[in-house]
Amino acid sequence: MAFAGYFDVTNLLSHRRRVGNTSLQLPAFGFGTAHLGELYGKVDEEDARTTLDTAWKLGIRYYDTAPWYGRGLCDHRVGGFLRTKPRSEFYLTTKLGRTLHRPKNPPTFDRSPWVGGLNFDVKFDYSYDGFMRSYEQALQRMGIDTVDALLVHDLDESIHGERYQDHLAALVESGMRALQELKSSGDIKAIGMGINTGHALNAIAPSVELDFVLVAMPYTLLDQASLHTGMAACAARGISVIIGAPFASGILATGPGANAKYDYAVASVEVQAKVRALQATCREHEVSLPAAALQFPLAHPSVLSIIPGATNPSEIAQNIAALSSTIPEAFWAALKSQGLIDPVAPTPAPG
């Protein structure tokens, strides 16, 4: 069932929902830490630490990271902070599919797409050995000996091109065995997959046994194309969904503009036009766009959590405030009547 009490932030921060059929239960609201890896701009150490400290003080207890974020930088920052906290008081998930290595020529190494990050090259590896090495590297970078769940990361044709089928075969033939062994041994409690595209949600996730998926782009206030396909398949199979980019990588937080980001790139003219239309309806109903973006996906019965990112303390506070704002039912009805969201998309009810 979808969440009740949307506007009670304490409820959202403390409420736990079970991941698939596992023993793991995660809070409804967490922290996606990719931006601490310096995707769009540099984040100095003091700001990163203060941001994590603010998240903790405001009650956030679920943190998600990945080796790819800042080429290891995010793992160091998140782990360095969480090492100071009791392990029983937080939830931590990370991802597999890349191992990190010293570049051949460090002085000329290109860290893109990260503006900052660390000087480590990446190797894609979805095999048994690759997953085990990635898992061990992550624990060592973070300085934490236990994670709650591991996710297959970025197994998408748009990323791998002609190597896609090879990586998929490696996952099916041996990578999943590594994850299943880690789960059966108690090293982890759940197996997930991090997904950026509707194609991956529709085509790849059904090919392996998963407890949950972490969806970045396919289900947001801007795009519900997966509602009747991938999201429906997850519901039918009892696979939980975590929404990793409720702001669609930026534009639903910042609004449209020359540098507004959608799908981790500058937003197209079409996307900017739709966001302007969403903004117009928001103004009419006195609703903030970020509040609508955060609250919308939680209404879907398969969604157990949202994990927006932040690069400074004020963004953490703003996100929590957006969750506490009341949105009238008439607003959601207006979005549907104007064709701005799918007419059968689940929408929040007043708490």
Distance of CA 154 to the CA centre of its chain: 12
Task: Answer whether residue 343 is part of any domain.
Answer: no
User: Of these residues, 63, 64, 126, 148, which one is catalytic?
Assistant: 64
Evaluate whether residue 90 is within a structural domain.
no
pLDDT tens per residue across span 333-347? 999 999 999 999 999
Beta bridge partners of 25: 18
CB 41 within 8 A of CB 115: yes
Domain count, the chain: 1
Q: What is the pLDDT of residues 223-264, one digit of tens each?
A: 999 999 999 989 999 999 999 999 998 999 999 998 899 988
What tokens were used for 57?
């003080």
**Catalytic, out of 6, 69, 126, 135:** 69
Q: Whole-angstrom Cα distance, residue 173 to residue 125?
A: 13
In a domain, 155, yes or no: yes
Whether 226 is covered by a domain: the verdict is yes
Res 307 pLDDT > 60: yes
Please name the residues in contact with 252: beta carbons below 8 A apart, sequence gap of 6 or more: 220, 221, 222, 246, 275, 278, 289, 290, 292, 293
**75 counts as catalytic:** no
Residue 64 annotated among the catalytic residues of the structure: yes
Hunting for tokens 């507004």 — which residue is that? Answer: 260
Q: Is the pLDDT of residue 3 over 90?
A: no
* Residue 19 belongs to some domain of the structure: yes
Helices marked H in 149-268: 157-160, 164-170, 176-185, 198-199, 230-237, 251-254
Q: Where residue 13 sits, what CATH number does that domain have?
A: 3.20.20.100
In a domain, 240, yes or no: yes
Question: Is residue 264 in some structural domain?
Answer: yes
State the virtual CA torsion across 295, 301, 303, 305 in degrees, nearest 10. 60
Domain residue limits at 203: 9-60+145-337
- The single residue of 95, 189, 261, 274 carrying the catalytic annotation is 95
The answer to whether the CB of 246 falls within 8 A of the CB of 308 is yes
95 is catalytic: yes
80 within a domain of the structure (yes/no): no
